[in-house]
Amino acid sequence: MSRTIIISNRLPTKVQRAADGLHFQPSEGGLATGLGSIYRADGNVWVGWPGLFVEDPAEQAQVTARLADDSMAPVFLTEAEIRDYYEGFSNGTLWPTFHYFSEFATYVPAHWEAYRAVNEKFCQAVLALAGPEDTIWVHDYQLLLLPELLRRARPNATIGFFLHIPFPSYELVRVLPWGPELLRGMLGADLIGFHTFGYMHHFLSAVAHLLGLPTQNGQVETPERTILVDAFPMGIDYERYAQAAVSEAAQGYERTYREVLGEARVILSIDRLDYTKGIAQRLHALEGLLVAHPEWVGQVSLLMVVVPSRDQVAQYAALKEEIDELVGRINAQYRTITWNPINYFYRSFPFEELVAFYHLADVALVTPVRDGMNLVAKEFIASKGDRPGVLILSDRAGAAQELSDALLINPTHTDQLVGALHQALTMPADEQCQRLRHLQELVRQYDVFAWTKLFMDRLAYSKIKQQTLATD
C-alpha cells in the first residue's frame, strides 16, 4: 500500500516541559488543519521536530510513543543543532535572505554544515518509514536539501516540495555562498510549489542563471528528470473561522473586550514577532494618524498582538526592544485616564479569543514588508461574517495577489499607511461590506482543503507524466 509522508521542521503538536512533566498541545496552524485529513489517514505520518530539546532516552521514547498515537514521528534535535541549523542557517541565513533582509544574513560554514547534517537526519527518519513508491511532501525553507537526499535513496518515490516563504529574486540567491546546492536540493522533488507566480518565476530564473538548466513552461529539465513548478496560494479553514466568530465563547469574549475598549474604533494587528512583519512601521503610522488627523485622538485604539518567536536570534530580541520602546513612548504621549492608543500584548491567545478580536475589529492592519502569503489577512476576512470591516494589506504579502479588494499599500510608505488608515476609518459601511463580500467569496472558495487537494492532484499528475515520458 502506498503511503503519504508529510515532513516539516516543526510538528503540528507542540511539546512543552512543565514542572509536572511533558505537555502535548496540538497546533491549530493552517498547515496542520489542511493536512490533517492526510497525515491522520491510515498508515500515513507527519515527521518533524517536536519543538523542544529532549536528551534523555526514556523521555524520547515517551515523546515518540505519545506522538505515534496521533500519526506523528519526531526528529530529535540536539542543542547544537537547534543553535546552528534552526537559529543559525534556517533563521539567520535563509529567512533574512529570502525576505530581502540580506544585511541581516550571516554566512557561517558551521551553520551550513549543521543544516546539511540535519537535512540528512530528517532524510534518515523518513527512510525508516517510507517505502520505495510512497508519496512524500516536504515543507519549507528549513528542509531545502531534503528532496534531493530522498531522491537519491528512493529514486521512484513521488516527492513534492512547498515553500511557505517568498522565493526572492535570483540576485539575492546568488549572494548566498551555497545557492546552487540549495537549488539542487529542491530539484529532487517532482513538483515544487510556491504561493505566487512571482516566487515561481524567481525560482525558475535562479535555476536558469545559477545551474544553467533549461526552464520552460513552468518546468525544469535535468538530464534525468522533468520537474514541475507551479503556484498554489495557500488558504485557511474558512468555515472554522466563520463559525467560531459567531460561537457563544467568542461572543462572550467580544462583549468583555467591547466594554473595556468603550466607543473607540479598533485597529487590529496580529503577528509573530518578526522584522519581516513591519510592526514598527505600523506603530509609526498610528502615531502619524494621530498627528495628521487629531480628530482620532481618543477615538481609535490599536489592538496589537505580538506572538513571541525565535527570541534567541539577535534581530528578534532587538526588534522586541524597539517595539516595547515605541509602544511605551506613543502611549505615554497620547494616553488619557480612560483611553490608550495602543493595547499591546506580547503573547499568544487561544483560538476563540483571536476570533473575537477579528470579529470586533473595524480595521485589520496587515502590513508586512515581506511575507510569503500572510494568513492573518484571510482569517480576518473569514471571521467578519456579515459585519463591516476593512483590510489594509501590504502589497508585498503574497496574499495581495489574490485580495485586490483590500486597501493595498506600500508598508514602508508611512504617509500612504496613514492615508489608508484614515480612509478605512471613514469608509461608508456599505462599501466596507461590498469589498468584504468579494474577499469572503474568494477566501471561502480557495480554502486550505482546496489548496491541499490541488497540490496533491498535481503531484500525482507529475508522476504519471514522468512515467509516460519514460516509456515513450
Question: Cβ of residue 9: shortest distance to ligand G6P, in angstroms?
Answer: 6
Give the whole-angstrom CA distance, residue 16 versus residue 6: 22
Structural contact between residues 266 and 361, judged by C-beta atoms closer than 8 angstroms:
yes
Question: Cβ of residue 10: shortest distance to ligand G6P, in angstroms?
Answer: 5
Q: Is residue 164 at the binding interface for ligand G6P, with CB under 6 A as the rule?
A: yes
Give the whole-angstrom CA distance, residue 98 versus residue 106: 13
Question: Cβ of residue 194: shortest distance to ligand G6P, in angstroms?
Answer: 12
Q: Is residue 140 at the binding interface for ligand G6P, with CB under 6 A as the rule?
A: yes
| Residue number, 199 or 296, with CB nearest to ligand G6P | 199
DSSP one-letter code for 274: -
Size of the site for ligand G6P (CB under 6 A): 7
| Residue number, 273 or 420, with CB nearest to ligand G6P | 273
| Residue number, 194 or 296, with CB nearest to ligand G6P | 194
Question: Cβ of residue 172: shortest distance to ligand G6P, in angstroms?
Answer: 17
| Residue number, 4 or 142, with CB nearest to ligand G6P | 142
Longest dimension (CA), the chain: 78
Question: Considering only residues 166-185, where is the footprint of ligand G6P by CB under 6 A?
Answer: none
Q: Which residues, listed in sequence order, are joined to residue 269 by a DSSP beta bridge?
A: 304
**Residue choice 67, 159, 165, 207 for contact with ligand G6P (CB under 6 A):** 165
| Residue number, 309 or 412, with CB nearest to ligand G6P | 309
| Residue number, 141 or 358, with CB nearest to ligand G6P | 141
| Residue number, 9 or 44, with CB nearest to ligand G6P | 9
Question: Cβ of residue 312: shortest distance to ligand G6P, in angstroms?
Answer: 10
Question: Cβ of residue 367: shortest distance to ligand G6P, in angstroms?
Answer: 17
Give the whole-angstrom CA distance, residue 439 versus residue 432: 11
Give the whole-angstrom CA distance, residue 175 versus residue 102: 8
Q: Is residue 60 at the binding interface for ligand G6P, with CB under 6 A as the rule?
A: no
Question: Cβ of residue 163: shortest distance to ligand G6P, in angstroms?
Answer: 8
| Residue number, 10 or 435, with CB nearest to ligand G6P | 10
**Residue choice 78, 205, 281, 309 for contact with ligand G6P (CB under 6 A):** 309
Q: Is residue 378 at the binding interface for ligand G6P, with CB under 6 A as the rule?
A: no
Q: Is residue 10 at the binding interface for ligand G6P, with CB under 6 A as the rule?
A: yes
* Beta strand 300-307 pairing with 265-272: parallel
Give the whole-angstrom CA distance, residue 253 versus residue 270: 17
Residue with cell 526588534: 319
| Residue number, 51 or 389, with CB nearest to ligand G6P | 51
83-87: which pairs have CB atoms within 8 A and are 24 or more residues apart? 83/312, 84/108, 84/110, 84/111, 84/113, 84/114, 84/115, 85/111, 85/114, 85/115, 85/117, 85/118, 85/142, 86/9, 86/49, 86/142, 87/310, 87/312, 87/313
Q: Is residue 310 at the binding interface for ligand G6P, with CB under 6 A as the rule?
A: yes
Q: Is residue 370 at the binding interface for ligand G6P, with CB under 6 A as the rule?
A: no
Question: Cβ of residue 339: shortest distance to ligand G6P, in angstroms?
Answer: 34
Q: Is residue 202 at the binding interface for ligand G6P, with CB under 6 A as the rule?
A: no
| Residue number, 11 or 425, with CB nearest to ligand G6P | 11
Question: Cβ of residue 36: shortest distance to ligand G6P, in angstroms?
Answer: 16
309-316: which pairs have CB atoms within 8 A and are 24 or more residues apart? 309/272, 309/273, 309/274, 310/87, 310/91, 310/273, 310/274, 311/273, 312/83, 312/87, 313/87, 313/91, 313/92, 315/96, 315/104, 315/275, 316/273, 316/274, 316/275
Structural contact between residues 74 and 67, judged by C-beta atoms closer than 8 angstroms:
yes
Give the whole-angstrom CA distance, residue 222 versus residue 466: 12
Give the whole-angstrom CA distance, residue 23 versus residue 62: 11
| Residue number, 32 or 302, with CB nearest to ligand G6P | 32
Grid coordinates given for 117? 547534517
Q: How far apart are the first and last CA of the chain?
A: 27
Question: Cβ of residue 95: shortest distance to ligand G6P, in angstroms?
Answer: 8
Q: What is the DSSP string of 96-132?
A: HHHTT-GGG----HHHHHHHHHHHHHHHHHHHTT--T
| Residue number, 140 or 190, with CB nearest to ligand G6P | 140
Question: Cβ of residue 75: shortest distance to ligand G6P, in angstroms?
Answer: 14
Q: By Cβ distance, which residue is nearest to ligand G6P?
A: 164
Query: How many Cα atoms sit within 13 Å of 194 on the Cβ side?
Result: 23
Question: Considering only residues 19-48, where is the footprint of ligand G6P by CB under 6 A?
Answer: none
Question: Cβ of residue 320: shortest distance to ligand G6P, in angstroms?
Answer: 15
Structural contact between residues 301 and 264, judged by C-beta atoms closer than 8 angstroms:
yes
Q: Is residue 354 at the binding interface for ligand G6P, with CB under 6 A as the rule?
A: no
Give the interface with ligand G6P as residue ranges (CB under 6 A): 9-10, 140, 164-165, 309-310
